[in-house]
């Protein structure tokens, strides 16, 4: 089957559950339907603004999880977090940007349940011009 026209977007789930695992799709740094910043960190976006973006991305991940599960009570712990940072050449502080997302997960779930494996990657660009995108995987409580 051939893909549709370039402007046609496929339906993607904000979160997908498989047994005791919930994977939240990547979320950009949008609040109220608008990006809170645009561009590459170290060029158009400061480190502090990028950290605020990462925190907003993590909030958006938690919103997707909450909407899928009708709350956050079923989350046992955060398994893994991936953070992509649109980076200017030479920018090497992706881990400091990702720390802001990690901090939010720890605030929400506590030191033990919020502690997770993580990757922080620098990329040339992200969807819609967002400086940061965050994706996460969660372990759910079993009845």
Angle between helices 94-113 and 47-69 in degrees, nearest 10: 40
| Residue 85 to residue 77: CA distance in whole angstroms | 24
Q: Does the pLDDT of residue 4 top 60, yes or no?
A: no
Can you count the helices (H) and strands (E) in the chain? 2, 7
Alpha-helical runs (H) found in the chain = 47-69, 94-113
Letter string b/e over residues 104-113, b meaning 16 or more CB atoms within 10 A of that residue's CB: bbbebbeeeb
Give the per-residue pLDDT at 3.
58
Domain limits of the chain?
Answer: 15-140
pLDDT (0 to 100) of residue 10 = 72
* pLDDT tens for each residue of 72-122: 999 999 999 999 999 999 999 999 999 999 999 999 999 999 999 999 999
pLDDT at 21: 98
- Report pLDDT for 102: 98
pLDDT in tens, 37-63: 999 999 999 999 999 999 999 999 999
Instruction: State pTM to two decimals.
Output: 0.93
What are the angstrom distances between the C-alpha of 54 and each of 9, 51, 60?
Answer: 25, 5, 10
Burial group, residue 95, by CB count within 10 angstroms (0-12, 13-18, 19+): middle
The superfamily (CATH) of domain 15-140 is RutC-like (3.30.1330.40)
Tokens 């158009």, residue located? 44
Report pLDDT for 98.
98
């Amino acid at each position: 089957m051939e893909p549709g026209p370039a402007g046609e977007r496929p339906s993607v789930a904000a979160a997908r559950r498989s047994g005791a695992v919930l994977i939240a799709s990547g979320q950009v740094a949008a609040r109220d339907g608008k990006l809170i910043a645009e561009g590459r960190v170290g060029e158009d976006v400061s480190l502090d603004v990028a950290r605020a973006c990462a925190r907003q991305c993590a909030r958006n991940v938690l919103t997707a999880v909450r909407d899928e599960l009708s709350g956050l009570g079923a989350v046992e712990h955060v398994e893994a977090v991936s953070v992509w940072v649109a980076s200017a050449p030479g920018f090497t502080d992706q881990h400091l940007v990702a720390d802001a997302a990690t901090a939010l997960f720890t605030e929400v779930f506590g030191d033990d349940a919020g502690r997770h494996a993580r990757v922080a990657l620098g990329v040339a660009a992200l969807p819609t011009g967002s400086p940061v995108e965050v994706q996460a995987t969660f372990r759910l409580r079993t009845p």
